[in-house]
Structure 1
Amino acid sequence: MSMAVAGMIAGMALGFAGHFGGFGAFLLVAALGAVGFVVGRFLEGDVDLGDFLRSRDGQRR
């Protein structure tokens, strides 16, 4: 299992543990799952943090 999938599962488990029930819980679990997935991809090296920190013209801040 990749770290991205493990991070997504961890985020979803935290969402279920933190708030269970209703549409709000669905959104919370989806958001935490997405965050866990992105963190997992970052830890695997598939996502470069510099991609998010560059300005619009391609220059670093």
Structure 2
Amino acid sequence: MTSSTVGLIAGLLLAIAAVIGGFPGFLLALVLGTVGYVIGASRDGDIDLNALLRGKGRG
């Protein structure tokens, strides 16, 4: 699946969430979608969450 297809599906799902749940539903869908994207990108190896969660100056 291409990035544009994933973006289209995500946009349609956010639009449905906005229509059904109003603004709070839209925000919840946006937050959960972002969390899902970050977890998926981490599993694919695109981003390194350990570097972000480790913090600075500890050691």
Shared fold (TM-score greater than 0.5)? yes
Q: How does 1:24-35 map to 2 (within 5 A)?
A: 24-35=24-35
Runs of 4+ in structure 1 displaced over 4 angstroms?
none
Shift of 1:55: 2.5
Shift of 1:54: 1.8
Shift of 1:58: 6.1
Q: CA-atom RMSD, angstroms?
A: 3.0
TM-score using structure 1 length:
0.56
* Structure 2 residue runs without a partner (length 5+): none
Which residue in 1 is equivalent to 2:50? 50
Higher relative contact order (CA closer than 8 Å, sequence separation 6+) = 1
Percent identical residues: 45
Partners in 1 of 2:58 and 2:47 — Cα distance?
Answer: 17
TM-score using structure 2 length:
0.58
**Structure in which a larger fraction of residues adopt helix:** 2
* Structure 1 residue runs without a partner (length 5+): none
* Matched positions, count: 50
